[in-house]
Chain A
Amino acid sequence: GAVVSQHPSRVICKSGTSVKIECRSLDFQATTMFWYRQFPKQSLMLMATSNEGSKATYEQGVEKDKFLINHASLTLSTLTVTSAHPEDSSFYICSADAIAGFEQYFGPGTRLTVT
């Protein structure tokens, strides 16, 4: 089956620093990758959609200069949280869907804690 990996699985950083999270589709090419944020006991909130080779599309209320997304290839997308603050602490999950596919395949998530 389609496998999506995410790295790191957990990260703790100090306020004001930047953190990069990688999302990879391991056995398929993903035209589109999605980034979600999930706060405790809440649903997944879509942050942005990224297509290989083009700029990401951000959801309303998500700061594109704070959450930098790069989709360099059909198997890799990165999310960089810049100048992180404690309120950015959350569970970040990426997903990818195969070309012309309906189903999205989720990564295992990254638990970000900003101190």
Chain B
Amino acid sequence: GENVEQHPSTLSVQEGDSAVIKCTYSDSASNYFPWYKQELGKRPQLIIDIRSNVGEKKDQRIAVTLNKTAKHFSLHITETQPEDSAVYFCAASLGPYYGGSQGNLIFGKGTKLSVKP
């Protein structure tokens, strides 16, 4: 089955700096890669996602890159702010069309991001 590795487990940056979180996946059939932000005791919130037919996607200060050949994808946050502090999870999925059923999300172990003012 799919296995998702996420690094680093903790990341501390100064406000205004950039933060990069990297994930690798094992199943080349995976084709959907979302990133979630989770604050303590709350539900994961989707912040950006990318499908395998795209190499990069950007939304304001957040961008995701995907390298299908190397089977890795990364989250880039620029101009970090204290409110970006949270745990970030990457995930991989086969997507809804695989085998006619909905694809399960397999999560990485998470990265605790701390942005210091």
Q: Which residues of B contact A95 (CB under 8 A)?
A: 105
Q: How far is the CA of A51 from the CA of B101 in the complex (A)?
A: 9
Bound state CA distance, A97 and B44, in angstroms? Answer: 14
- Chain A's closest residue to B43 (CB) is A106
Contact B32 A102 (CB under 8 A): yes
**Residue total for B at the interface (Cβ-Cβ under 8 A):** 24
With A34-B104, A46-B105 known to touch, is A102 a contact of B96 (CB < 8 Å)?
A: yes
A49 to B99, CA, bound (A): 14
* A61 within 8 A of partner (CB): no
Whether the pair B49, A102 counts as a contact (CB closer than 8 A) is yes
A102-B95 in contact (CB<8A): yes
Q: Is the interface of A mostly helix, strand, loop or mixed?
A: strand
Q: How far is the CB of B90 from chain A (nearest CB, A)?
A: 10
Size band of the interface chain A makes with B: 20 to 34
Asked if A108 contacts B105 (CB within 8 A), the reply is no
On whether the beta carbons of A31 and B109 are closer than 8 Å, the reply is no
Question: Which residues of chain B are within 8 angstroms of A103 by Cβ–Cβ distance?
Answer: 34, 46, 49
- Of all chain B residues, the one with the shortest Cβ separation from A108 is B43
Chain A contact residues, CB within 8 Å of chain B: 31-32, 34, 42-46, 49, 51, 91, 93, 95, 97, 100-104, 106-109, 111
